[in-house]
Amino acid sequence: MSLLKTLKHTEEEENEHINKHNRHDLVSLKQVPTYQREDVNEREMKVYVMVHQKSPHVLCVTQRLRNTELIDPSFQWHGPKGKVISENSSTHITTTGSLVFQDFEESMTGAYTCFLEYKPTVEEAVKNVQLKFIVYAYREPRFYYQFTARYHSAPCNSIYNVSFENKLLQILSKLVHDIKCEVSLQKSECHHVKMQKAGFQNELFFKFADTEKEPKPCDDNTCDYSKRLSKAKSLIERFFSQQVEVLGRRASPLPQIYYIEDTLQMVWINRCFPGYGISAAKHPKCPECCVICSPGSYNPSDGTHCLHCNSSLLFGAKACL
């Protein structure tokens, strides 16, 4: 009987030991590091890259983590075409996880996500951060000068007005030819104008555009687009100023067609390539850039704004179908 009690007591102790061991294992399981997600309250960040240029480094780290020590960090990028491969000739992922575009193409525009995994300390659980970006292609605006001028003219139905119009356009075009610019006539109108404290006179109203010619390879400073247009502007202003000087020295009666002093007006006008537009409201970090049109918009010509279009589903749309 004593032996049975001893065996029973031993069995109870063993069961109690097993239960304690199981409870200890359960506690241990709860303490095993788990894969956690760190919430990042950052919206999709906008990045702007000029077409055919190298991009700045797109950082795969939050502002808070930028100056923090990260244990065993790993980075992975996904773009519009799937996983971004570092060995690709057009993209490069640095050792610190930054994404760099080597020769940015319009087709690379779109949503990019970086997945960052790291440990804050050796003992802590692995954390995961997702950073989302929208990468936009952009181009510099291709501005031009629009200028208007008025001339005293022959009667509006006179053939001399047409002849003068052609001659004036030839002179202006030749004036800017050597700096690889061109002048085009946008509008020509003849009006019968009542003068202040005087009678009527006929006037020609001209509207011209001063633009660059098709860009060609060159090695000198004439390649600078803005400098060439500024030079063309100066030449045109000088041309009209000289007409006033010549008329002022003229002793004989004025010719039938002549420039009316102080009527030259020149205006700088921006323009974007089709599929691009300027919007300081949508792109405050690139307010004067011609940024590729987002889905839901398009630009069919060389205007400066992307127009609304519900059926446009791609970046850089040039038509609303």
139, 174, 193 - which closes a domain? 139
- The CATH number for 91's domain is 2.60.40.10
Q: Would residue 71 count as lying in a domain? A: yes
Range with lowest mean pLDDT among 28-32, 72-76, 97-101: 28-32
pTM equals 0.67
Q: Are residues 108 and 150 in the same domain?
A: no
Whether residues 204 and 247 share a domain: the answer is: yes
**Domain-located, residue 15:** no
CA distance 51 to 79: 17
**DSSP-derived pairing of the beta strands 258-259 and 127-139:** unpaired
pLDDT-derived band at 253 (thresholds 50, 70, 90) equals confident
Q: Are residues 153 and 247 located together in one domain of the fold?
A: yes
Identify whether 223 is part of a domain: yes
Number of structural domains, the chain? Answer: 3
The answer for 114, left when phi > 0, alpha when psi is -120 to 50, beta otherwise, is beta
Domain end, chosen from 89, 121, 139, is at: 139
Mean pLDDT value of segment 226-246: 94
CA–CA separation, 231 and 225 (whole Å): 10
Residues 134 and 165 in one domain: no
pLDDT of residue 5: 42
- pLDDT for 214 equals 62
Phi, psi angle pair for 317, to nearest 5°: -65, 140
pLDDT of the residue at 293: 97
Give the structural domain span for 216.
144-269
Q: What is the pLDDT of residues 205-223, one digit of tens each?
A: 999 998 887 654 444 444 5
pLDDT of residue 43: 66
Q: Is the pLDDT of residue 42 over 60?
A: no
Between 30 and 281, the more confident residue is: 281
Q: Verify that 193 and 296 share a domain, yes or no.
A: no
Residue 73 has a pLDDT of: 93
Banded model confidence at residue 14, pLDDT cuts 50, 70, 90: very low
Is position 187 within any domain?
Answer: yes
